[in-house]
Amino acid sequence: MATIRLKKIPAKAIMLSLILLSALSLVALMVASDSPDAFNRLQTPLLLVNTVSFFVLFILVLVSGRKLVRDYKKSKLGAKLRLRMTLAFGGLAIVPAVVVFVFATNFMNKGIDVWFDAEVEQGLSNALTLGRTALEEKIQQGLFKTTNIALALTGTDQLDKRLNELRNDSLALELVVLNNELQVIGASTKRLGNLGSRLPSKVEMNQAITKQSWASLDSSVEGEYLIRVLVPILGFSSNETPLYLHSLFSVDPNLSRMADSVEETYARYGRLTFLKTPLQYSYIFTLALVVIVGFIARHLWINRICRATSQAH
């Protein structure tokens, strides 16, 4: 008798604590779902807790089912009634669980799909194109200014001083004269320490050679947008090596901020779109686990009630 008690009490305690833990984890999941970061952090341990609960409770259901069938086969008193009641209540419990699961999954998926509406994506894409078009004009201005500066350069004598004057007149951030080996011949910069990090690459140099100019919009770590232009200097060369002028212009800070905001929103939307399917699967998995744990817990409870009822009869 004592051994039976010892076995029953831990099983009961484990069962109750697992159900309680599952219920608590679901409350935590509900609270965390408001904040994506908290949700990401909590999802894995919560799923683990629920998975463990599922397996332990499932084993308990199997054990109790086996015992019930064994009792029925042995024609024990009240076993038939218990089996019938368990099946009837179990059947009654499974229908609402499945209905809740199907409807909840459907609503959830539709809710997620609404967020990823094609019109939203098109709108964001249009905002990006609009911003790019607005900045295209600035790029053309930068190209025009750089071409004029290149024409104003007449020789390598006092090149740095001349570049400094031209930079001040043109409001450029940086002017660098390079040869086709990307070696700096002369430079003038407004921002100390930044020279070199923004030098053009070989590919860009080749484009400037073939198309007579190269211009691009670029961004910095701080979210600031810059216009970079590279044009050949036609007036003179260094030891018969063609020279190129690389210029850097800043974009109006307000425009830069707005462009950065559009880009950030577009990227965030893109990230969510990319992760949409696994996100949906993870929600379905969590919901399925919740429904199954709930169902199994209810089944164990029903089994207990049926046992008590049949014993009373």
Partner 1 sequence: MKNKSQKPERLLGTILLLLSFMTTNLFAQPVTPIKGESFLLNAVYYSNIDLLFVFNKEYQQALNSGLVFDIDLDFVIVNVRKRRFDREIGKLSQKYTLKYNAFTQRYTILNVNTGGVISHASLVSASQYLGDIRNLPTIDDSLINIEENYQVFLQVSTKAQGVPRWIRALRRNNLNFVTDWIQWPLFD
Residues within the interface to partner 1 (CB under 8 A): 40, 43-44, 47, 128, 131-132, 197, 201, 203-204, 216-221, 225, 259-260, 262-263, 266-271, 273-275, 278-279, 281-282
Closer residue to partner 1 in complex, CB, 126/311: 126
**24 or 275: CB nearest partner 1:** 275
In 3D space, the residue among 141, 144, 146, 138 whose CA is nearest the CA of residue 245 turns out to be 146
**Amino acid letter for position 110:** K
The Cβ-side half-sphere exposure at 24, using a 13 Å CA radius, reads 9
Residue 189 or 310 having the CB closest to partner 1: 189
CB closer to partner 1, 131 vs 294: 131
User: Which one, 37 or 240, has the nearer CB to partner 1?
Assistant: 37
Nearest approach, Cβ of 282 to partner 1 (angstroms)?
6
- Asked if residues 287 and 108 have their Cβ atoms less than 8 Å apart, the reply is yes
Pairing status of strand 241-250 against strand 225-238: antiparallel
User: Is the alpha carbon torsion for 73, 79, 80, 85 positive or negative?
Assistant: negative
Is 131:258 a contact under the CB 8 Å cutoff?
A: yes
Whichever of 121 and 160 has its CB closer to partner 1, that residue is: 121
CB 42 to partner 1: min, Å: 10
